[in-house]
């Protein structure tokens, strides 16, 4: 079993990006600038946004953090998005999800300028992805592709099962793994809560990508020997033995599934860091797209 080390790989990517930023500056070109909008003080969201800010510092990007109160009106949030859309100094920005119940996430997603949508959530970017046109790929799926590529995992002709059909990970992942590209050319099965005989399907898979948000959902009896496992899930579970009072679990029962896997991502330290690295790559791409 080989660990798909997202932390190590993302650090390598950040070093590559940092060199490119130095080149841009030496040529008198603009320093990439990423902004993040966060509403309220959700602990997990704050942790994630802070990690993005630190990543910007590491690669030499400029960064702006826009913190808005939990009771900010939808209109005020949309006005802030409009400001960022029209700020030539900002190359890309993200609005951290989830948002409070009184704000329509779809309306917010549509309000972001597709040319600055470095999270890759706007329908225009998703549509261009479907057609194989230049676009911002959704950050988490793009990070997974990068991880599989850098570990030289063969995907062509393989059976890939994606568990979970969210618009953020599962659905775009199924499209990307089927594309006629180096990391792609899989025969993909997209499964979800209504799928029958899931275990029969997963036991035939060469590659399984799990994005459910259900702790330790995938167990050893659901996979075959030599399978490649990508675990996107991350769930906080109470643990009094930890100083934080909780531990993080993925969607895969790691120890038992790892014993049957050829490659597997850990949680934490697998997909999460790759998502942030992809966000940095998308922001660098935004400079070129201008």
Cα torsion 36, 38, 41, 42 to 10°: value is: -90
Residue 64: is its pLDDT beyond 80? Answer: yes
pLDDT of residue 46: 81
Examine residue 232 and state whether it is found in any structural domain, yes or no.
Answer: yes
109/217 same-domain check: no
pLDDT of residue 73: 97
Contact yes or no for 153/230 (Cβ under 8 A): no
Name the catalytic one among 5, 14, 52, 206: 52
150/43 same-domain check: no
CATH of the domain at 205: 3.40.50.720
107/169 same-domain check: no
89/150 same-domain check: no
pLDDT confidence band for 237 (50 / 70 / 90): confident
Per the structure block, which two tokens stand in for 89? 């100094």
pLDDT of residue 131: 94
163/91 same-domain check: no
Name the catalytic one among 14, 80, 91, 96: 96
Give just the sign of the alpha carbon dihedral 236, 239, 245, 248.
negative
109/213 same-domain check: no
Examine residue 4 and state whether it is found in any structural domain, yes or no.
Answer: no
- Arithmetic mean of pLDDT over the chain: 95
Contact yes or no for 14/277 (Cβ under 8 A): yes
pLDDT tens for 134-162 read 999 999 999 999 999 999 999 999 999 99
Nearest to 146 by CA among 259, 10, 285: 10
Q: Where are the alpha helices (DSSP H) in 60-169?
A: 74-85, 105-111, 123-131, 139-150
pLDDT of residue 66: 95
pLDDT of residue 233: 94
pLDDT of residue 289: 80
Residue 185: is its pLDDT beyond 80? Answer: yes
Contact yes or no for 208/228 (Cβ under 8 A): yes
Q: Residue 166 — φ and ψ, nearest 5°?
A: -65, 155
Examine residue 19 and state whether it is found in any structural domain, yes or no.
Answer: no
Per the structure, the complete domain to which residue 150 belongs is given by 139-272
Examine residue 290 and state whether it is found in any structural domain, yes or no.
Answer: no
Query: Of 71, 98, 113, which marks where a domain is finished?
Result: 113
Asked about 240 being catalytic, the answer comes back as no
50/146 same-domain check: no
pLDDT confidence band for 43 (50 / 70 / 90): confident
Nearest to 218 by CA among 253, 166, 258, 170: 253
Across the range 211-221, mean pLDDT stands at 96
Examine residue 264 and state whether it is found in any structural domain, yes or no.
Answer: yes
87/174 same-domain check: no
Q: Taking the CA of residue 210 as centre, how many other CA atoms within 13 Å lie in the half-sphere pointing to its CB?
A: 32
33 bridge partner residues: 62
pLDDT confidence band for 236 (50 / 70 / 90): confident
Asked about 285 being catalytic, the answer comes back as no
pLDDT of residue 263: 98
pLDDT > 70: what percent of the chain?
100
Residue 50: is its pLDDT beyond 90? Answer: no
151/99 same-domain check: no
pLDDT of residue 41: 83
236 bridge partner residues: 248
Cα torsion 283, 284, 287, 290 to 10°: value is: -70
98/160 same-domain check: no
Examine residue 194 and state whether it is found in any structural domain, yes or no.
Answer: yes
pLDDT of residue 277: 96
CATH of the domain at 57: 3.40.50.10860
Examine residue 16 and state whether it is found in any structural domain, yes or no.
Answer: no
Q: Residue 214 — φ and ψ, nearest 5°?
A: -115, 115
Per the structure block, which two tokens stand in for 86? 């029209």
Nearest to 245 by CA among 253, 237, 234, 256: 237
pLDDT of residue 42: 75
153/243 same-domain check: yes
Examine residue 278 and state whether it is found in any structural domain, yes or no.
Answer: no
Name the catalytic one among 91, 119, 231, 251: 119
Domain count, the chain: 2
Tell me the whole-structure pTM to 2 decimals.
0.94
How many helical (H) and strand (E) elements, i.e. helices and strands, does the chain have?
10, 11
Asked about 119 being catalytic, the answer comes back as yes
pLDDT tens for 2-24 read 999 999 999 999 999 999 999 99
101/219 same-domain check: no
């Amino acid at each position: 079993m080989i660990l798909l080390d997202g932390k190590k790989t993302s650090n390598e990517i950040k070093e590559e990006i940092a060199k490119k930023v130095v080149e841009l500056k030496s040529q008198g070109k603009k320093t990439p600038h990423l902004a993040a909008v966060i509403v309220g003080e959700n602990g997990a969201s704050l942790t994630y946004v802070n990690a993005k800010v630190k990543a910007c510092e590491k690669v030499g990007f400029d960064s702006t953090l826009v913190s808005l109160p939990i009771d900010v009106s939808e209109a005020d949030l949309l006005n802030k998005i409009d400001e960022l859309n029209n700020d030539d100094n900002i190359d890309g920005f993200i609005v951290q999800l989830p948002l409070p119940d009184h704000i329509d996430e779809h309306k917010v997603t549509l309000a972001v300028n597709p040319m600055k949508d470095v999270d890759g959530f706007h329908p225009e970017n998703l549509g261009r992805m479907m057609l194989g046109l230049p676009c911002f790929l959704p950050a988490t799926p793009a990070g997974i592709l990068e991880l599989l590529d850098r570990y030289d995992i063969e995907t062509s002709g393989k059976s890939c099962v994606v568990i979970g059909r969210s618009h953020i990970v599962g659905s775009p992942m199924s499209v990307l793994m089927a594309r006629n590209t180096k990391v792609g050319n899989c025969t993909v099965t997209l499964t979800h809560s209504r799928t029958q005989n899931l275990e029969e399907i997963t036991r035939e898979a060469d590659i399984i990508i799990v994005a459910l948000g259900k702790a330790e959902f995938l167990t050893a009896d659901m996979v075959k020997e030599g399978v490649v496992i990508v675990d996107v899930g991350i769930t906080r579970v109470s643990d009094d033995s930890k100083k934080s009072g909780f531990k993080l679990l993925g969607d895969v029962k790691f120890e038992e599934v790892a014993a049957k896997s050829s490659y597997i991502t850990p949680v934490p330290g697998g997909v999460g860091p790759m998502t942030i690295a992809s966000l940095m790559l998308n922001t660098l791409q935004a400079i070129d797209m201008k």
